[in-house]
Amino acid sequence: MAMMKLLLCYLIVSMACHLVFSFTDPQDATVLQSLKQQWKNLPPSWNYSNDPCGTPWEGVTCSNSRVKALALSSMRLSGKLSDDIGGLTELASLDLSFNPDLTGSVSSRLGDLRKLNVLILAGCGLSGTIPSELGNLSQLSFLALNSNNFTGEIPASLGNLTNLYWLDLSNNRLSGSIPVSTSTGPGLDLLKKAKHFHFSKNQLLGEIPASLFSSGMVLSHLLLDGNLLTGEIPPTLGNVQTLEILRLDNNALGGGVVNLQNLTNLIELNLASNNFSGPLPDLIGMNYLNYVNLSNNSFQPSQAPAWFSTLKPLTTLALENGPLQGQVPQQLFSLPQIQIVILRKNAFNDTLDMGNNISQQLQLVDLQNNDISSVTLSSGYSKTLLLMGNPVCASSIASTSYCQPQKRSATNCSTSLANCRNITCPSDKKLSPQTCACAYPYEGTIIFRAPSFMDTANCSRFHDLQISLEMKFGLAPGAVVLLNPHFNIDDYLQVGLGLFPTTRNFFNSSEIQRMGFELSSETFKPPAEFGPYFFIAVPYKFPGQ
């Protein structure tokens, strides 16, 4: 009897011990164990214990024994996003971004993660369709599936994600039309809290649905560039007065551009390379516009519109291959912020007189292939002026630089390593310009989709970018390397990035997580002139891995 009591006692104590010392809910532990079997290159701490919450596994955040967040950005993870993950039913945040070897299709069981608030799968190698079950994640506020290989249509069920603030589907191979709600099902028009629709560079077809837009929306960035959209700009777009960036360039849109005057908060407007017709849009009153690009459309011939001379914040005006004739308005060059004027391939004639009050910011005036017959050269302007293909180049100025072919001014604004001249690092490390020591940087490419400047002549703005990165990530001055800033074939500004650790010669995985998250979620804000961006990380190589 005493023996029995003792045994019972022992059992109770050991059960209690077990309860006290295993911190992880058994179901969550099972799921994570199974992911550990399937995924390669997990952090080493996943082998130190069998208790993901107790002796915490890196990247796993728990609360009350349940797994709340799984963050494994930029880890070189390889494997598949299988059904098992659907078992982490308390998960609120899942970030597996920038793991290009995470391939295959996305399990529809992701739709079981009902508590999910943040889902970031950007920059992986995922393919197949986007599971419509994601529409069941009613708590979701941040969904980034950009830069994968997703095909098929945008699931209409995403319209059920009424708490969504951020929807990034760009750089995939999505097709079909943009879904809007019908009597039988949801659509993206229901996303009344969304500030970001980023659908650039897919193969989306058909018209931009008029019912997508309404005055109750708070959309700030609408990026539809690089698709196959047809039809006209729906008049309802004018109701979305919160809009700041509108990119419709590189589609097959047509018709007149008449409903934009209401969009008085617009900062960037790109309608280039479509088939818009009718009169040039009237942009008077859009007093925040600093980037306007209307190139390559079919607008009807006209004089330069009045807003060329009055849009005070304008930094970039592009109307290449356009309908303009008559004289180039002198006041354009006096706009206080103006930097870039691209008006090649129009029919400007008469005399070009840039006046004597030329903006200090002005870098480039491209008037090639117009019909300009004489030029009054101004002493106040020493930057680039391109006039090749005008009658004036048959005159006495024929041999000047004005009449030579264009060189887009480009300086190599890469961070200099000159101070560490003759140090070479082993192949797995890189030279830190801050310490001239070899270290393991977090690297990637940052791609700005709509910068307000157009050349890389001025390195000081890249210096500002570098400083803003150092501040955001708490890195030492000089610990950020920028490599080869240039405009890529899509006309996005592409900059190689290397972030060097400050106290050690490598980052730990929670530091990598934090930087990966802040760059993939655009929590890091670059100087305003850089505009929206996306980031593709090189999976981090931990020492000895």
Ligand X SMILES: *[C@@H]1O[C@H](CO)[C@@H](O)[C@H](O)[C@H]1NC(C)=O
Lookup result for tokens 């870098």: 363
Asked if residue 527 binds ligand X (CB under 6 A), the reply is: no
Q: Kindly write out the interface string for residues 394-433 of this chain, putting x where it contacts ligand X by CB under 6 A and - elsewhere.
A: ------------------x-x------xx-----------
Asked if residue 298 binds ligand X (CB under 6 A), the reply is: yes
> Which C-beta is closer to ligand X: that of 14 or that of 484?
484
The first and second tokens of residue 188, run together, are: 């993206």
Min dist CB 65 to ligand X, Å, is 22
> Which C-beta is closer to ligand X: that of 36 or that of 472?
36
Min dist CB 314 to ligand X, Å, is 11
Asked if residue 54 binds ligand X (CB under 6 A), the reply is: no
479-486, Cβ contacts within 8 angstroms, sequence gap of 24 or more: 479/432, 479/433, 479/434, 480/415, 481/414, 481/415, 481/430, 481/432, 481/433, 481/441, 482/413, 482/414, 482/415, 483/414, 483/415, 484/412, 484/414, 485/413, 485/414, 485/456, 486/410, 486/456
Half-sphere exposure of 425 (CA within 13 A, CB side): 17
> Which C-beta is closer to ligand X: that of 63 or that of 411?
411
492: number of Cβ within 10 Å: 19
Asked if residue 250 binds ligand X (CB under 6 A), the reply is: yes
Asked if residue 189 binds ligand X (CB under 6 A), the reply is: no
From the list 254-262, 377-385, 465-473, 499-507, the region that binds ligand X by CB under 6 A is 254-262
Asked if residue 42 binds ligand X (CB under 6 A), the reply is: yes
Residue 320 has phi, psi (to 5 degrees) of: -75, 145
Min dist CB 338 to ligand X, Å, is 9
d(CA 206, CA 251): 10
Q: Contact with ligand X (CB under 6 A): which of 86, 128, 231, 254?
A: 254
Using CB positions, name the residue nearest to ligand X: 238
Asked if residue 336 binds ligand X (CB under 6 A), the reply is: yes
d(CA 127, CA 71): 21
Min dist CB 7 to ligand X, Å, is 36
Q: Contact with ligand X (CB under 6 A): which of 24, 65, 73, 157?
A: 157
d(CA 472, CA 467): 9
Beta-carbon contacts of 460 under 8 Å, excluding residues fewer than 6 positions away, are none
* DSSP assigned state of 37: H
Asked if residue 270 binds ligand X (CB under 6 A), the reply is: yes
d(CA 459, CA 482): 11
Asked if residue 481 binds ligand X (CB under 6 A), the reply is: no
Residues from 119 through 148 that contact ligand X (CB under 6 A): 125, 132-133, 135-136, 148
d(CA 189, CA 331): 41
Min dist CB 44 to ligand X, Å, is 5
Q: Kindly write out the interface string for residues 350-369 of this chain, putting x where it contacts ligand X by CB under 6 A and - elsewhere.
A: x------x------------
Q: Contact with ligand X (CB under 6 A): which of 227, 315, 321, 369?
A: 321
Asked if residue 181 binds ligand X (CB under 6 A), the reply is: no
- Phi and psi based region of residue 200 (left: phi greater than 0; alpha: psi -120 to 50; beta: remaining): beta
Q: Contact with ligand X (CB under 6 A): which of 97, 146, 296, 370?
A: 296
Half-sphere exposure of 261 (CA within 13 A, CB side): 7
The first and second tokens of residue 528, run together, are: 């305003």
Asked if residue 238 binds ligand X (CB under 6 A), the reply is: yes
End-to-end CA, the chain: 57
Asked if residue 216 binds ligand X (CB under 6 A), the reply is: no
Q: Contact with ligand X (CB under 6 A): which of 293, 384, 494, 502?
A: 293
Residue 80 has phi, psi (to 5 degrees) of: -125, 160
d(CA 146, CA 150): 9
Asked if residue 262 binds ligand X (CB under 6 A), the reply is: yes
Strand locations in 328-477 (E): 340-342, 347-353, 364-366, 371-376, 384-386, 430-431, 438-439, 442-448
From the list 19-27, 84-92, 270-278, 514-522, the region that binds ligand X by CB under 6 A is 270-278
What's the chain's Rg over C-alpha atoms?
A: 28
> Which C-beta is closer to ligand X: that of 399 or that of 426?
426
Q: Contact with ligand X (CB under 6 A): which of 101, 232, 282, 491?
A: 491
Q: Kindly write out the interface string for residues 429-468 of this chain, putting x where it contacts ligand X by CB under 6 A and - elsewhere.
A: -------------------------x--------------
Helix-strand-coil split of the chain, %, nearest 5: 20, 25, 55
The DSSP-derived string for 530-544 is G-SEEEEEPPP--TT
Asked if residue 188 binds ligand X (CB under 6 A), the reply is: no
Strand locations in 158-313 (E): 166-168, 196-198, 205-207, 221-223, 228-230, 245-247, 254-255, 268-270, 275-276, 291-293, 302-303
Min dist CB 434 to ligand X, Å, is 16
Asked if residue 160 binds ligand X (CB under 6 A), the reply is: yes
Residues from 59 through 98 that contact ligand X (CB under 6 A): none
User: Which positions lie near ligand X, rule CB under 6 A?
Assistant: 42, 44, 46-47, 111, 125, 132-133, 135-136, 148-149, 157, 160, 185-186, 215, 235, 238-239, 249-250, 252, 254, 259, 262, 270, 272-273, 275, 277, 293, 295-296, 298, 316, 318, 320-321, 325-326, 334-336, 340, 342, 349-350, 357, 412, 414, 421-422, 454, 484, 491
